Chain A
């Protein structure tokens, strides 16, 4: 399969994530959309690690060339996990105070 397919898939997932973040009003769903974006990136990175897009340009053709990208994926996962824990904590805190996770409630600061 050519790399373009992967790029297209990852971009599609990413776009779904972005659109979700921008349009949805539920904090949890926004959060899920962000995760979707991150996973799209993971997918893309893994794809690139095995199939360098432009070998002629970079000269990276040896077998271990893609290792750094795979490593990156792990880092993203770890960091995403950390973010999830903090983020969920914040959402829970919010929920305790207003009994809702709808971000339309978030307009107290406007005035």
Chain B
């Protein structure tokens, strides 16, 4: 029930924002913030309550709530949480709070509608992370798209409409293909057992023919892989990320991409263990291609936000690589990567947004020497670029190290190439730092350093990334049961 509350709090919060937006813009921000804080507290509560249960490893699902929705089709409102969901939920609300904070002053037009969209996107994402009915899952999957579309298309940059369209049509196409797969699975299940059900646990027992299973899985995979994104389908990402408002980029990079990874872990692997084992080699290949390709393109960009967007492609390659290694260690790494990438890349986007607020450009060529005028920002940027290139003691290092370790047992050549990817990441990260913060200042202008609000955002982000780098144990414990369960099955 607590999960239902989380979603409905977000939804009503969004509506309230919209209504309040007509009268008072200040009030709206506080409502949004409060909504997310309440949800965050709820998740925190959930986390501490169930920590013991999870580590004992008896049952991985600690909350399970189900009511009928459309019984004649076996569609139910089934939400549940296990360690993985809990981690993702915590990340969602954490980044949600930050996204509200970082758009505090940025958004001046139609504030109410903006926060409405923001909260509804988050509600969709929350739903995706907890839905255990495939139909419901698809439902939330789509629900998060429309508000996100609005976020990009209304409050984005110059090229926003094109970017919003591209984002929407790519993901919509993927989502519909997934719907076909869900339907096929549903009917196969019905013909095998005689009952119509979309329930995750029912469908787990469905055994489609290996050849059909492959096709069904491809439908799921395409949807998730577009979201992730993996190289041939990454096209929408740089546009969407660079055009979106700061909070939009933060949510896109920090959360929306994770829904793809989450989908693969939650649905593709358990539903199609055999078929996914068959494509493992290819998936890892694409992961590696993504790592190298993303890094190389990131190196070539002159637009700060695009650069960061391509680093996401590169980092998500690690996720794909790790998932299809089918090793406990790699899987732990994947979850860590999801969390830390969400934080570090999110932080970079926020930084880019702040720089843009001050310089009104995203072009690296027009920046330089910002450290002298803004030492605090430079320092924080340093932390996160280092995190992005995988410096030890920061969260990303743990994640990437675990993934590479896990993969090493499975496929040595891929691991070696992926490690090379890390070298590339050092290249683009350092280039970013050098061009933006080092060197002679381009123009003599007095630039304000962090305001208190910005400082709070950055401090929270920095502390969390360092904390995760030094002591990743809480996250690892949380997902341990799930990971064990997954890797044992396959």
Asked if the two chains touch in their complex, CB atoms less than 8 Å apart, one says no
Interface residue ranges, A against B (CB under 8 Å): none
Q: Interface on B for A, CB 8 Å cutoff?
A: none
